[in-house]
Chains A and B, each alone.
Chain A
Amino acid sequence: MIGFESISYLSLLCALVLPLVIHLWNKRKPKPILFPSIRFIDPEKQKQWRRLRFSEPLLFFLRVLTICFLVFLLLNPFYSYFQDRTERRVHKLFISSDLLPIDQYPPITQFIDGLPQRDSLQLFCLTNNGILQADTNKLFYKAAEPLNYAGRKLQHIAAKHNDKNQELHCFLSDRLAQFNGAQLDFPKYLNVHLLPQLMQNEEKIEQNKSLNIGLFHASGLEMDARYVIAALKALKYSGRPLSWEKKLIGNASDNFEAFDFVFYLSDASTEVPYDRLQNVNHLMYDPKLFTARFERESNIMVADKALSMPIPTFHSSADNIDPIENDQEVVWCTAHEQALLSRIKNSSGYAYEMHTRFNEQSNDWVLQGEFPLWIEEIYNQQFANPLKGEDRRRIRQDKRRDSSKDQAEEEKSFTVGQEKNNIYAYPYLWYLIVLLFLIERIWVVRKTV
């Protein structure tokens, strides 16, 4: 398949007017003059003029050809073809967090099923906080983080994972895709699959599947449960409907499996069901009792560590702080949230928000900090009257209606197990253009000398 990388240079074909003008100028008729004697005029000049008139069309054709090739060069044409691969490859698949229930979306499952058996697959989920591996299930979204930052992070991550012998594919939902084509220039080695029509499916998913959250806490940890409430507040920004239930622990029949997420708050007086907690998605507990064993676990966050962390600087979403450019702790929150956090900080002395930070060792963006301490009334104020799910969908649909018409046609096809190769024509075109230019110059010089 032949393609052009810079089709906008096609307008340079207007330069064809130049040789045409030169040709017409040279083709003008000589002015007739009656002269006493032409004895002293070299007759060789006349022969030269005849030669010149004969060579004019050829020279014109040569110049036109040179300009055409030059424009063709600027268009950067390439021929792309797919080739079966033989080596073993690692496929890194980035999936927009909106598409997490991938089993319900055929193109992605089709893609994964189509991978050669010898290849290995690494699945990544893109969240607003950067990249999280799917098996960790850390689904805590930053509140009000500008989405284009997520796009920037995707660029950063894709560049980082550009190892040899790897294929990078990225499935973006409409929510992130709007930052893909229009505003961000993704690296060429990242195959981005836009799935604009996904939103319809996504809405069905959202309607059908809500997050069921269980908050288990010890009897003396009523206040600490507010950490979780703050997390729930953050969860609402995922765009999913959620329901939650607060329960006292200590009951052997606690059914953790009934919830998508379980928050387990315990203290020294509580007997902790270790075996069962291995399957709990998220756990908060009193570290005085549990130390070494759970600190190694990635899905466990320690409350007192969170409480001892310094209070980060809060940035409004309107501040346009770029997490990639500004490699510091960055926390986004709305202006209203920022005001609330300040109030909490002033009254109680501590308030925490999740924030992202670039970890040099892991070379990745990671979550830092713990859940903010928000009093319940703040939660009620924010969460009791959230934007209803239907209203939110309606607003998003309105926005989407304007932009998704063209995007629906742009869904890219992909071939699994094949390697896409591009052959660029510019090296050969350079030689050709230089050759044509030299011929033209020699021609002109020979004519005039």
Chain B
Amino acid sequence: MKASDFIESESELSLISSRIIGRLKYGLHLSNRLGNGMEFSQFRAYQAGDDPRRLDWKLLARTAKLFVREAEIEQHIRCNVILDASASMNYVENGKSKWTYAILLSSVLLGLAHRQGDELRLKLVHPKAEEYLLSTNNGLHISHVNHILTHVKPAGKWIDSSLTSNSFGHQRSMVLLISDLYETAQFEEIKLIAKKMAARKHELIVFHLLGNREFDLDFDDLVELEDLESAKKIVVRTKETNKAYAESMKAYWEAMYTSFRKLGIVVKPMNFTEDLTIQLAEFLKQRAAKI
């Protein structure tokens, strides 16, 4: 993808995401897990609590030791992508749009899940999310996902959306949150929903989209910053402000990352001004190594 380009059509998004998916070696999760199945995998020593029915009696007879027979079983999980479509995602830096990056990342992640045969679900953090996602509770086709993504325009705030912790049902699933993680100090809505999802044993991965200037305020000396969500304006002399700003930003993200990690949530910072494929491939590689 040319980072400066803005994706305008579904076919464009499909093409770019499929090319990126094609270059990725690793998936989001292992395809199979060990358990009761037809395909033998290995013997394992019996441990207290294991079902006695899984004991291999023949081996017990030969060796007088207790072994459990394990076999590979195919696993299909539900892949939920929560895409932050609040107004702050409209930010553009050096001609590169955070929103374009976000929909491309969503498309690629859902494409990966689709490749692994998972059930795809897309949740939008948007005041009018329901208009875009009529079949919220049902699985989506990847082409449908791309269609929706190209038609959504970020607006409103996170707290305006209808997204709740119940949106994902009770079944354990993988939740991929794509957001710039700007929340209000009053509600802390992102932390709250992450906490609830973690409590429901969902596997939550947060992709944090951030630009360079967004972090260090590397603008001209005198700028008037307009908040994309609240429309408030503030005149800033960047040379005098950027140091304090960067410090408070760093402290904020570190606190948020720490709270996520305590909940077992994986956080992946993504610089939307840099190449998506490289950053995602690196993440998936690290993830595969951990699994």
Say yes or no: is A36 at the interface (Cβ < 8 Å to chain B): yes
Which residue of chain B has its CB nearest to the CB of A35?
Answer: B225
- Select one of B88, B241, B249 contacting A45, CB under 8 A: B241
Say yes or no: is B134 at the interface (Cβ < 8 Å to chain A): no
Instruction: Quote the shortest CB–CB distance from B290 to chain A (angstroms).
Output: 31
Report, as a range, how many residues of chain A touch the other chain. Answer: 10 to 19
Given A39-B182, A46-B235, A49-B235, the answer on whether A33 and B240 have CB atoms closer than 8 Å is no
- Select one of B91, B234, B235 contacting A34, CB under 8 A: B91
A24-32, A208-216, A263-271, A343-351 - interface stretch: A24-32
Say yes or no: is A113 at the interface (Cβ < 8 Å to chain B): no
Residue-wise interface mask of B (216-235) relative to A, using a CB-CB cutoff of 8 A (1 in contact, 0 not):
00011011111111101111
Say yes or no: is A41 at the interface (Cβ < 8 Å to chain B): yes
Say yes or no: is A42 at the interface (Cβ < 8 Å to chain B): yes
Number of B interface residues in the complex (CB < 8 A) = 35
Residue-wise interface mask of B (229-260) relative to A, using a CB-CB cutoff of 8 A (1 in contact, 0 not):
11011111100110011001100100000000
Say yes or no: is B92 at the interface (Cβ < 8 Å to chain A): yes
- Select one of B182, B185, B222, B245 contacting A30, CB under 8 A: B222
CA distance A49 to B222 in the complex (A): 10
Indicate if the CB atoms of A31 and B232 lie closer than 8 Å: no
Instruction: Quote the shortest CB–CB distance from A66 to chain B (angstroms).
Output: 25
List residues 17-63 of chain A with CB under 8 A from any CB of chain B. 28, 30-43, 45-46, 49
Indicate if the CB atoms of B237 and A31 lie closer than 8 Å: no
CA distance A97 to B222 in the complex (A): 75
B-chain residues with CB within 8 Å of residue A448 when the two chains form the complex: 240
Given A45-B236, A45-B237, A46-B235, the answer on whether A38 and B225 have CB atoms closer than 8 Å is yes
Indicate if the CB atoms of B214 and A36 lie closer than 8 Å: yes
B-chain residues with CB within 8 Å of residue A42 when the two chains form the complex: 241, 244-245
Instruction: Quote the shortest CB–CB distance from B73 to chain A (angstroms).
Output: 44
Indicate if the CB atoms of B220 and A45 lie closer than 8 Å: no
Instruction: Quote the shortest CB–CB distance from A35 to chain B (angstroms).
Output: 4
Indicate if the CB atoms of B228 and A35 lie closer than 8 Å: yes
Indicate if the CB atoms of B234 and A32 lie closer than 8 Å: no
B-chain residues with CB within 8 Å of residue A30 when the two chains form the complex: 222-224, 235-236
CA distance A197 to B91 in the complex (A): 86
Given A39-B182, A41-B236, A45-B236, the answer on whether A33 and B226 have CB atoms closer than 8 Å is yes
Indicate if the CB atoms of B226 and A35 lie closer than 8 Å: yes
Residue-wise interface mask of A (120-131) relative to B, using a CB-CB cutoff of 8 A (1 in contact, 0 not):
000000000000
Instruction: Quote the shortest CB–CB distance from B249 to chain A (angstroms).
Output: 5
B-chain residues with CB within 8 Å of residue A43 when the two chains form the complex: 234
Say yes or no: is B70 at the interface (Cβ < 8 Å to chain A): no
CA distance A45 to B230 in the complex (A): 18
CA distance A415 to B168 in the complex (A): 109
CA distance A36 to B227 in the complex (A): 6
- Contacts A39-B184, A40-B249 known; 5 new A-B pairs at CB < 8 A: A33-B219, A34-B91, A40-B245, A43-B234, A46-B236
Q: Footprint of B on A, CB under 8 Å?
A: 28, 30-43, 45-46, 49, 448
Q: Footprint of A on B, CB under 8 Å?
A: 88-92, 98, 180, 182, 184-185, 214, 219-220, 222-230, 232-237, 240-241, 244-245, 248-249, 252
22 intermolecular pairs with C-beta atoms under 8 Å apart:
A30-B222, A30-B224, A31-B220, A31-B222, A31-B224, A33-B226, A34-B90, A34-B92, A34-B226, A34-B228, A35-B227, A35-B228, A36-B98, A37-B182, A38-B225, A38-B227, A39-B185, A41-B241, A41-B245, A46-B234, A46-B235, A448-B240
